[in-house]
């Protein structure tokens, strides 16, 4: 695979084998045969310190009217976006006359905060299932991918924007060259681009290999973001670690010279260097750690089954697709998966075809074990599930097996 920025040919470091598309929950058993698989493997571009997957299906196949992920279903995330808004406000990154743009606005959970405070805003998202929900609450949304073409349309209609925000969407965009060119078109001279994503250092530390799936083309680090944006006259000037999605990082970007680089950024960059995030060998070790963890997970689940105990899956997350398919976990191990998203109910998990049931099936008849596929929402879930755990029920996940 050629890197779209440096043109360098990247050789794979580790493969998770044949993988289906993460959010491709299947409605009919007769469609199992038609399922699309690709080789999920990662590589590391040493020139720009960028961790990426090598092969990925075209995003039009999954970011469309069927996309089943809605931010607003998690109270914790809704709360997180209110705090994100307040933090940008405190930093004076926008004012009452500003125009704010969100890349990957999903159901509008973030933009609602700007709307509530009468700040003009616009979302861009190709997943119509989610953007329809945003439009229903009166938000202005363009149902499309954010790229140079869309940016030109936005610029022609609204002019430059003071602030571009994003959360968990930039890693979905394969062509970073096009993304940054699009930002260049719409961002004002003094404006900031602020986005947050799953953080590479957290993934390496936790061996949370399930962060890797077709929608996450990149897992970013500060070093990588700094190098990539510098190529286009932009500058990473601040960062802020976040606890969301199992450990994320918020990146603050401006045009070269528009803002002062913070001490906090310098400190976190040093931590990354100490942890060798810029070294190829780190990712070879990570691949080996994934293999070790895979075998631990399988053994743990097999032992529970041999003891005649029941295991269900908690949260039909996109991440669970990598766990189930890489670790060869099927219906003989996990009876079913419960999820609170109606759009996923009665469908089958990608690849291993475990059925997704409404959440009530969990409460109705507690199993002995629940595999916490939504481990990134652990705090919220443990509070909600006190009855399960106080009755002796146990949550398990690969994160705790590490």
Residues that bind ligand TMP (CB under 6 A): 73-74, 315-318, 339-341, 359, 374, 376-377, 380-381, 384
Give the Cα separation of 305 and 310 in Å (integer).
7
Closer to ligand TMP by Cβ: residue 150 or 320:
320
Smallest gap from residue 253 Cβ to ligand TMP (A): 24
CB 341 within 8 A of CB 130: no
Q: How far is the CB of 106 from ligand TMP (least distance, A)?
A: 11
Q: How far is the CB of 101 from ligand TMP (least distance, A)?
A: 23
Residue 156: is it exposed, middle or buried by C-beta count within 10 angstroms (0-12/13-18/19+)? exposed
Find the residue with minimal CB distance to ligand TMP: 315
Closest to 349 (Cα-Cα) out of 339, 363, 359, 340: 339
Cβ contacts of 326 within 8 Å, gap of 6 or more: 16, 17, 19, 40, 209, 290, 294
Please answer whether residues 197 and 215 qualify as being in contact, where contact means their C-beta atoms are separated by less than 8 angstroms: no
Let me know if 15 is exposed, middle or buried by CB neighbors in 10 A (0-12, 13-18, 19+).
Answer: middle
Query: Cβ 21 to ligand TMP, closest distance in Å?
Result: 14
Give the residue with the Cβ less far from ligand TMP, 184 or 380: 380
Full 3-state SS string of 328-371 = CCCCCCCCCEEECCHHHCCCECCCCCCEEEECHHHHHCCCCEEE
Torsion of CA 17, 18, 21, 23, to 10 degrees: -60
With a CB cutoff of 8 Å and minimum separation 6, the contacts of 132 are none
Residue with smaller CB distance to ligand TMP, 21 or 180: 21
- Residue 250 near residue 18 (C-beta atoms within 8 A): no
Residues 237 and 254: their CA atoms lie apart, in Å, by: 7
* CA gap 30, 204 in Å, rounded: 38
- Shorter beta-carbon distance to ligand TMP: residue 74 or 397: 74
Cβ proximity to ligand TMP, 238 vs 339, nearer residue: 339
Which residue's CB is nearer to ligand TMP, number 255 or number 377?
Answer: 377
- Residue 84 or 252 having the CB closest to ligand TMP: 84
Q: Phi then psi for 20, rounded to 5 degrees?
A: -85, 175
Residue 44 CA, chain-centre distance (Å), reads 19
Q: How far is the CB of 292 from ligand TMP (least distance, A)?
A: 24
Residues 6+ apart with CB under 8 A from 168: 104, 196, 197, 198, 245, 248
Dist. CA 89–CA 69, nearest whole Å: 27
> Minimal distance in Å, beta carbon 80 to ligand TMP?
11
Min dist. Cβ of residue 169 to ligand TMP (A):
12
On whether the CB atoms of residues 207 and 402 are closer than 8 A, the answer is yes
CB of 340 to ligand TMP, least distance (A): 4
Closest approach, Cβ 24 to ligand TMP, in A, equals 13
Residue 16 or 44 having the CB closest to ligand TMP = 16
Q: How far is the CB of 381 from ligand TMP (least distance, A)?
A: 5
Choose between 281 and 360: whose C-beta lies nearer to ligand TMP. Answer: 360
Q: Which is nearer to ligand TMP, 177 or 341 (CB)?
A: 341
Residues 6+ apart with CB under 8 A from 147: 175, 178, 179, 182
């Amino acid at each position: 695979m050629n890197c779209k920025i440096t043109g360098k040919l990247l050789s794979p470091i580790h493969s998770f084998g044949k993988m289906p598309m993460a959010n491709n929950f299947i409605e009919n058993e007769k469609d199992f045969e038609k399922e699309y698989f690709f080789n999920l493997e990662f590589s590391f571009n040493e020139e720009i310190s960028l961790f990426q997957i090598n092969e990925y299906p075209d995003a039009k196949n999954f970011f469309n009217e069927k996309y089943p992920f809605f931010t607003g279903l998690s109270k914790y995330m809704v709360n997180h976006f209110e705090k994100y808004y307040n933090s940008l406000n405190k930093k004076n990154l926008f004012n009452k006359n500003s125009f704010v743009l969100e890349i990957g606005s999903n159901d509008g959970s973030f933009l609602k905060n700007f709307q509530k405070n009468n700040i003009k805003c616009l979302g861009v998202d190709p997943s119509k299932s989610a953007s329809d929900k945003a439009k229903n609450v009166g938000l202005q949304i363009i149902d499309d991918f954010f790229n140079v073409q869309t940016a030109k349309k936005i610029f022609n209609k609204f002019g430059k924007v003071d602030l571009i925000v994003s959360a968990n969407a930039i890693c979905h965009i394969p062509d970073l060259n096009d993304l940054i060119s699009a930002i260049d078109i719409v961002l004002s001279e003094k404006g900031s681009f602020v986005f947050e994503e799953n953080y590479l250092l957290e993934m390496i530390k936790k061996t949370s290999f399930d962060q890797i799936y077709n929608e996450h083309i990149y897992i970013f680090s500060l070093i990588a973001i700094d190098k990539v944006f510098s190529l286009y006259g932009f500058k990473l000037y601040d960062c802020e670690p976040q606890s969301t999605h199992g450990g994320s990082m918020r990146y603050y970007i401006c045009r070269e010279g528009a803002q002062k680089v913070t001490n906090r950024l310098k400190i976190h960059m040093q931590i990354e260097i100490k942890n060798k995030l810029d070294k190829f060998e780190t990712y070879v070790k990570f691949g080996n750690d994934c293999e070790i963890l895979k075998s631990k997970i399988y053994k743990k689940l097999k032992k529970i089954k041999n003891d005649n105990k029941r295991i269900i899956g908690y949260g039909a997350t996109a991440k669970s697709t990598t766990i189930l398919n890489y670790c060869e976990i099927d219906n003989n191990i996990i009876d079913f998966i419960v999820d609170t998203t109606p759009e996923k109910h009665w469908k089958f998990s990608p690849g291993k075809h475990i059925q997704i049931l409404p959440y009530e099936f969990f409460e109705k008849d507690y199993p002995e074990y629940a595999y916490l596929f939504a481990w990134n929402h652990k705090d919220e879930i443990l509070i909600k599930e006190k009855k399960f755990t106080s009755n002796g029920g146990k949550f398990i996940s690969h994160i705790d097996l590490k």
